[in-house]
Amino acid sequence: MSELSEAQKVAWTGFTDGDWQKNVNVRDFIQKTILRMKAMILS
């Protein structure tokens, strides 16, 4: 998958880019999502 479809762009709005967008990489997705959520809570 070289380019994101419009549906993917909309569905992934607000999430941090990462390997999880191109591969099955649950660890990458969780780590980046949790770090972003923690930063939002602490600010």
pLDDT of 7 reads 87
Other C-beta atoms closer than 10 Å to the C-beta of 20 total 19
pLDDT of 35 reads 78
User: Considering its fold, how many domains does the chain have in total?
Assistant: 1
| pTM for the structure as a whole | 0.43
- Contacts of residue 15, Cβ cutoff 8 Å, sequence gap at least 6: 29, 32, 33, 36
pLDDT of 3 reads 72
CA 24 – CA 28 distance, rounded (Å):
9
- Residue 5: inside a domain: no
- Residue 25: inside a domain: yes
1-43 residue pLDDT tens: 457 788 888 888 888 888 878 888 888 888 888 877 787 788 7
- Residue 40: inside a domain: yes
- Residue 27: inside a domain: yes
- Residue 36: inside a domain: yes
- Residue 8: inside a domain: no
pLDDT of 25 reads 85
- Residue 32: inside a domain: yes
- Residue 2: inside a domain: no
Domain with 31, as residue range(s), is 18-43
pLDDT of 2 reads 53
